[in-house]
Amino acid sequence: MQGVNALSLFTEFPDRTGARRRSEGRGRLALWWGSISRFCSKKRLGWYVLWMGLALHTTSIVAILQPEKSYKSKIYNDPIPCAAKSTTVLTLDREEYLSWVQQTAIDKFSFDIGLQFGNYVDQVSGNTTTSVAGRNYKKENVAFGAVGGLENGLQDIPDGQDTTQSTALWQASLPVLSPPKFSLTNFSEVSTIPPAFGRIISHPSLSFNLSLAENAMYGVVDPLGNGALMTLGPNTLPGSPLALVCTWKAIPKLVHVQMVNFTARSLSTDDAPGRYPSLTGRATLKTLEGMAQSARYGGTIDPGSIELIRSGILDVFGTSYYTQATSTTQVLEILLADGVKAGLTAYNVLFRAQRINGQRAMRMCNSNNKTVQEHWRFGNSRNLGWIAMICTSGVGLLGVATVLWSKNKGVTRLIEVSPLGATGGFVLGRGEAIDDHQLLCVRNGKIVDVESEEKTRLIRSSSSG
């Protein structure tokens, strides 16, 4: 049998010249190294390198084709009133840049939110949006007045109100005051309310007659928006009403606001010590006044009172309509925040209109209001796209070098031909020079002469005839 003397991708006969024979060397290490040296021929390694290059190129192309989101913005920067420092005189009276007519109109927005006192447990449990002063807000415990008319965008609103609540800790928010004493029929004040503070009562005489249709409320607010309240409702136990005591602190913040489909929500907040919207205290006061009026006619957020009122009504599943899907703390936080939002929204819009009309008495700040437009772009996952760029550029340069190298080798069909030009490309395909007036076309994937094709067609038709 004659030996095979042929070359293939994975074999080479006889063994590569210079490779160590199996019999040479000593020990298993020598045999192992001999096998490696015989296997690693230049041709085989070249194919492996080519295969790895193609694999990396394909992987990098896939990495580039992975889309990712990008955002572009257009700045509008609607002006808004600057926040007031707490060291200045903040008051619950009329804001200095508003007339009484304007102040009364703005107060009404906050008051109307307070009137929804009896319905806010269901509102918060249902995670509904809040519509105040012509603008929609996500229900949350941050109070701010969004500006502009963007459908989707971002803005920074100086200062906000973050409220917290606790039970039976009246002095946590109002250290100089004590909660009132109460009975089934009246409140009895223990502390004298300072002139700068605001007192909110559901019954001017502090006397009441608790029932399912009548609750009582007593509250106090300071100029910064800190405050406390007590609500009383009927109880199944004789001799004592259901009492709910809540306190809160207004914390100044810089709110980063996002607009989504014309609905504003806070993305995050930054501390802004000592800087409050000038209407924070008054908007909180008017919200509580609305809550007190609602309480007088049975409105409450006390889970015990709500359960007592609805216990006799069953749904189709035989359970009570009363559902406490969220805490009383959260309900009060959101209610107060919505009331302040209503006042601040109208306030910011009013001053923007006045600024447009040339009234610039109040110092205005930038809201950084801007659109957010979502775009898609090709990504570069794990920077693998650079491999595709390097491989593609390398292969292109290699092709150019190959053509130029072939031209210099004296190949007949490349003589006096510019292989990188358009005409030279046709010459490479045809194997001959092409006249400028010669008509060419593509037939079955080949470049052919139109006149020659026409002559051939005529000869065939005449011979068949």
At 370, which helix (H) or strand (E)? strand 370-371
**Of 398 and 8, the one with more pLDDT:** 398
- Max Cα distance, the chain (Å): 125
Cα–Cα distance, 13 to 337 (Å, whole number): 86
* Mean pLDDT of the region 91-103: 87
* Mean pLDDT of the region 350-355: 74
Least confident of 2-6, 200-204, 431-435: 2-6
Cα–Cα distance, 129 to 263 (Å, whole number): 8
Percent of the chain with pLDDT over 70: 68
Q: How does pLDDT run across 57-86, given as a tens digit for each residue?
A: 777 777 676 777 776 777 776 777 777 776
452 domain-assigned: no
Q: How does pLDDT run across 137-167, given as a tens digit for each residue?
A: 888 888 777 776 655 555 556 544 444 444 4
Q: Which domain holds residue 114?
A: 79-375
315 domain-assigned: yes
Least confident of 265-279, 281-295, 367-381: 367-381
At 182, which helix (H) or strand (E)? strand 181-182
pLDDT at 12: 44
Cα–Cα distance, 345 to 357 (Å, whole number): 19
Which residue do the tokens 């096998």 mark?
A: 35
23 domain-assigned: no
**pLDDT tier for residue 289 given thresholds of 50, 70 and 90:** very high
**pLDDT tier for residue 108 given thresholds of 50, 70 and 90:** very high
Structure tokens at 94: 């009329």
* Mean pLDDT of the region 358-385: 69
pLDDT at 155: 56
Q: How does pLDDT run across 263-277, given as a tens digit for each residue?
A: 887 877 777 777 788
Cα–Cα distance, 107 to 151 (Å, whole number): 27
Cα–Cα distance, 301 to 337 (Å, whole number): 15
Amino acid at 360: R
Cα–Cα distance, 307 to 310 (Å, whole number): 5
Least confident of 175-179, 289-293, 307-311, 417-421: 417-421
Q: How does pLDDT run across 443-464, given as a tens digit for each residue?
A: 676 667 777 767 777 666 666 6
The count of domains in the chain is: 1
Whether the per-residue pLDDT at 286 is higher than 90: the answer is yes
Cα–Cα distance, 403 to 139 (Å, whole number): 69
Whether the per-residue pLDDT at 7 is higher than 50: the answer is no
Asked if 266 contacts 256 with a C-beta cutoff of 8 angstroms, the reply is: yes
**pLDDT tier for residue 97 given thresholds of 50, 70 and 90:** confident
Q: How does pLDDT run across 168-215, given as a tens digit for each residue?
A: 577 777 887 888 888 888 998 888 888 989 999 999 999 999 888 899
Least confident of 189-193, 308-312, 355-359: 355-359
Cα–Cα distance, 9 to 11 (Å, whole number): 6
Burial profile 148-179: b = 16 or more Cβ within 10 angstroms, e = fewer = bebeebbbbbbbbbbbbbeeeebeebbeebeb
Q: Nearest-CA neighbor of 351 among 16, 81, 77, 152? A: 81
Is the C-alpha dihedral spanning 276, 279, 285, 286 positive or negative? negative
Helix H, strand E, coil C: the string for 388-399 is HHHHHHHHHHHH
* pTM of the model as a whole: 0.64
42 domain-assigned: no
69 domain-assigned: no
Least confident of 138-142, 179-183, 225-229, 405-409: 405-409
**pLDDT tier for residue 111 given thresholds of 50, 70 and 90:** very high
96 domain-assigned: yes
Structure tokens at 433: 């020079």
Whether the per-residue pLDDT at 1 is higher than 90: the answer is no
Query: What is the number of helices (H) and of strands (E) in the chain?
Result: 10, 22
